[in-house]
Amino acid sequence: METRARYLIIAAAGKSDRSGTNIPKQYAIINNKPVLIHIIEAFLTHLELENMVIAISNNHIDYWQKLKKNYPELEKVNMVIGGPERFHSIKAALKLIPDNAVVAIHDGARPLIDQYTINECFTTALNKGSAIPVVDSTDSLRMADGLENKSLNRKHIKRVQTPQTFKSELIKKAYNTNYRDNFTDDASVFEFASNSVFLCKGNSENLKITSKYDFALASIILQDRDLSS
């Protein structure tokens, strides 16, 4: 099997407008640790701190500096300033990723990523060029268009998660384009460049924190993991 160095990009430049916290959610505390630290520690089983790149907002530099004071090991992590959209943040971070590697791109608001999903993403991307973790929809779904709506077969609908993982030279080439409104994640950029998107199994617990309810749920899940370990 081909071997490649592993890298991680964390998209942490979001504004956190809906989280209800008084600080950006990526720096908020869950079970005695900031969200970003939960993410970093999860990936440390798979790659070194030196191979991590965190894209932050120019307005969050003080939060980042404080985080490094509390966790001095973060001096080894690479940091870039993100742009107005997630697309621009990832494009800036990819400049620090070498070719012939495999890179995972993870949301800075997903602290519940598990070891199985990380390994599945790296393995699938190494073998197929890309890996997008997805989970089935448990809800009934309808497509609404104006006054009309129709039922969708949920067996064919997947909820997309991160880390979205790629052979680095492929995703870097895909990001060598201009921003478009339909670039909602890395898979959409990759697909726009005529690449094949391969899906892999995600984890239903790997939620993206957007509200106070999500913080409470994440706390319960993390506590349960600690008790089970």
Reported pTM? 0.94
Over residues 156-184, mean pLDDT: 97
Question: Higher confidence at residue 139 or residue 215?
Answer: 215
168, 14, 192: which is closest to 98 by C-alpha?
168
Q: Is the pLDDT of residue 11 over 80?
A: yes
Q: What is the average per-residue pLDDT within 2-30?
A: 86
Which residues, 6+ apart, have CB-to-CB distance to 79 below 8 Å? 53, 54, 55, 56, 64
> What pLDDT sits at residue 16?
60
* pLDDT recorded at residue 18: 52
The predicted model gives 90-109 an average pLDDT of: 98
Name which of 18-22, 83-87, 90-94, 163-167 the model is least confident about. 18-22
Residue type, 63: Y
Domain count, the chain: 1
Chain position carrying tokens 């430049």: 13
Side-chain half-sphere CA neighbours of 133 within 13 A:
28
pLDDT of res. 181: 96
| Averaged pLDDT of the chain | 95
Q: Which two tokens stand for residue 71?
A: 């966790």
Domain that holds residue 205: 5-228
Given this model, what pLDDT does residue 214 score?
Answer: 96
The band of 22, judged by pLDDT with boundaries at 50, 70 and 90, is confident
Where helices occur in the chain by DSSP H, the ranges are 35-43, 61-70, 86-94, 115-128, 168-174, 186-192, 212-228
Whether 10 and 208 have beta carbons less than 8 Å apart is answered as no
Helix, strand and coil percent figures for the chain, each rounded to 5 = 40, 25, 35
Mean pLDDT of 4-22: 82
Q: State the CATH number of the domain containing residue 172.
A: 3.90.550.10
pLDDT of residue 194: 98
